[in-house]
């Protein structure tokens, strides 16, 4: 079958393309913006990419068109699909019908940490020899691909997004997945382009809860009041809670660690002996992600001690505090942070690492929520742990970043051009500094261009 995917370079749709290819289909796709790591992943699998949307991309006519949720009426290729009466569906629906049926599904939901937690969970299952399938909104470095079918009948890990499904299906994506195990990691207001308030998102999470069978499992962050409100709307599945301070009963699972040291921690449960774990990730948010992944893996028979050994070998997904290069002692780090809470998590986690250098934060307000300005009053507080902040003002942003910059506690500046931003960073950075670049897009190749500029300044090799 020839499947053509509209919006193929999005993290979800690109991963879907890999699964369709693995099932033996011929896969093509189109998108308005093609950039790594997804584009390189797809090209390596022999998937033909078409830059831009046009009716000609549908010639010869595919057997099925899968339309991503970034596409809407008025798009030339969407209109051609409708005019020609070509069969079409959404990505989540295709996934449920062709991949998720008749196998255990473990869905990871939450405003933050879905990619990291789903990557952890898939790795814990893999390390235990279960050969899981997965679809993750990033590239887990332990696997090198964002999606695979896995063994026949093996558990399937899915990053469960609350964003809507398609222009013709406004339900959240995750209601299609019908998981046996659902992780509810955290919940706060996001996606201001489609949700009016937090209560609207809570309703969608409750729709997910309604799909989990009574013999399944709900794994819920005990420190999240919004998730308790979700469960209060009705719950028919056993709930296991994680989080909270050891000794102050909140979650069934908790962690303890030395102050400021989150790369060594101990996992506690009333029915288990404490398990000491060492790993490479930092930050309290990643401890919550780890607890969620460990508890979910246990539902598939993975022991806590085995999960702890697997975490010692876990590498965070690409674009999640990913070190892109070091020049003259200056680290350039890539992070997907696209929400004030995520920005604060990233900076606080990096601040906790040993080292005397400064933390330089570079931020592009690019997500739909950011573009609408719904979170701009929270941005100054989110960067409080940085030593300097460099804001990028995209040309299509409807509000001024200067107001945010002026309210920041650390020294802060705004740039409306990438070249000027690079020049400032190259001028300011000193050996020992960490430059963390936060955006949910390609940022016009800033990471590579900055590393090249630093090398030119230092005449030093890239390590």
DSSP reduced 3-state for 399: coil
3-state percent helix, strand, coil for the chain, nearest multiple of 5: 35, 25, 40
Q: What is the pTM assigned to this prediction?
A: 0.79
Residue range 312-318: mean pLDDT, rounded: 80
Residue 278: how many other CB atoms lie within 10 Å: 10
Q: Which of 32, 8, 245, 276 is nearest to 147 (CA)?
A: 8
Q: pLDDT confidence of 247, banded at 50, 70, 90?
A: low
Annotated binding site: 110-116
pLDDT of residue 35: 66
**Per-residue pLDDT tens for 377-408?**
788 888 888 999 998 888 877 778 888 888 88
Contacts 24+ apart (CB under 8 A), 226-233: 226/187, 226/188, 226/198, 226/202, 227/184, 227/186, 227/187, 229/202, 230/184, 230/187, 230/202, 230/205, 230/206, 233/202, 233/203, 233/206, 233/209
**Per-residue pLDDT tens for 17-41?**
999 999 999 999 999 977 666 777 7
Q: pLDDT confidence of 267, banded at 50, 70, 90?
A: confident
pLDDT of residue 44: 86
pLDDT of residue 462: 52
**Is the pLDDT assigned to residue 236 strictly greater than 80?**
yes
pLDDT of residue 458: 62
**Per-residue pLDDT tens for 326-381?**
888 888 988 876 778 878 878 887 787 756 689 999 988 876 666 666 677 788 88
**Per-residue pLDDT tens for 132-188?**
999 998 788 889 888 999 999 999 999 998 889 999 999 999 999 999 999 999 898
- Domains of the chain in start order, with CATH, are 2-90 (3.40.50.720), 102-311 (3.40.1190.10), 322-458 (3.90.190.20)
Contacts of residue 92, Cβ cutoff 8 Å, sequence gap at least 6:
165, 173, 174, 176, 177
pLDDT of residue 370: 67
Annotated binding site for ATP: 110-116
How far apart, in whole angstroms, are the C-alpha atoms of residue 258 and residue 5?
Answer: 48
Helix axis angle, 304-311 to 114-127, nearest 10°:
110
């Amino acid at each position: 079958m020839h499947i053509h995917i509209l919006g193929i370079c999005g993290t979800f749709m690109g991963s879907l393309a890999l699964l369709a290819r693995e099932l033996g289909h011929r896969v093509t796709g189109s998108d308005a913006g093609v950039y790594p790591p997804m584009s390189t992943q797809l090209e390596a699998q022999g998937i033909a990419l078409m830059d831009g949307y046009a009716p000609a991309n549908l010639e010869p006519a595919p057997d099925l068109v899968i339309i991503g949720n970034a596409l809407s009426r008025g798009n030339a290729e969407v209109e051609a699909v409708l005019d020609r009466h070509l069969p079409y569906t959404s990505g989540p629906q295709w996934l449920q019908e062709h991949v998720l049926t008749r196998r255990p599904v473990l869905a990871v939901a939450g405003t933050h940490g879905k990619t990291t937690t789903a990557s952890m969970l898939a790795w814990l299952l893999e390390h235990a020899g279960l050969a899981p399938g997965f679809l993750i909104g990033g590239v887990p470095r332990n696997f090198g691909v964002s999606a695979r079918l896995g063994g026949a009948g093996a558990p399937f890990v899915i990053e469960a997004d609350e964003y809507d499904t398609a222009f013709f299906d406004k339900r959240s994506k995750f209601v299609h997945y019908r998981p046996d195990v659902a992780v509810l990691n955290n919940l706060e207001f996001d996606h201001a382009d489609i949700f009016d308030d937090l209560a609207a998102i809570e309703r969608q999470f409750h729709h997910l809860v309604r799909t989990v069978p009574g013999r399944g499992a709900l794994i819920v962050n005990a420190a999240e009041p919004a998730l308790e409100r979700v469960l209060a709307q009705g719950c028919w599945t056993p709930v296991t809670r994680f989080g909270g301070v050891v000794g102050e009963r909140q979650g069934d699972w908790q962690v303890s660690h030395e102050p400021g040291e989150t790369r060594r921690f101990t996992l506690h449960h009333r029915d288990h002996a404490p398990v000491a774990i060492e790993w490479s990730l930092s930050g309290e948010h990643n401890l919550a992600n780890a607890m969620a992944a460990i508890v979910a893996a246990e539902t598939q028979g993975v022991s806590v001690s085995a999960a702890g050994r697997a975490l010692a070998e876990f590498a965070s997904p690409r674009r999640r505090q990913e070190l892109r290069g070091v020049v003259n002692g200056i680290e350039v780090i890539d992070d997907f942070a696209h929400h004030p809470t995520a920005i604060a998590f990233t900076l606080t986690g990096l601040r906790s690492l040993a080292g005397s250098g400064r933390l330089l934060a570079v931020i592009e307000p690019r997500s739909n929520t950011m573009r609408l300005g719904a979170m701009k009053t929270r941005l100054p507080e989110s960067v409080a742990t940085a030593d300097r902040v460099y804001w990028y003002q995209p040309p299509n942003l409807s509000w001024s970043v200067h107001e945010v910059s002026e309210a920041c506690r650390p020294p802060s500046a705004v740039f409306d051009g990438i070249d000027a931003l690079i020049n400032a960073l190259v001028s300011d950075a000193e050996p020992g500094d960490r430059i963390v670049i936060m955006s949910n897009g390609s940022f016009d190749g800033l990471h590579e261009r900055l590393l090249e500029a630093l090398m030119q300044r230092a005449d030093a090799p890239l390590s």
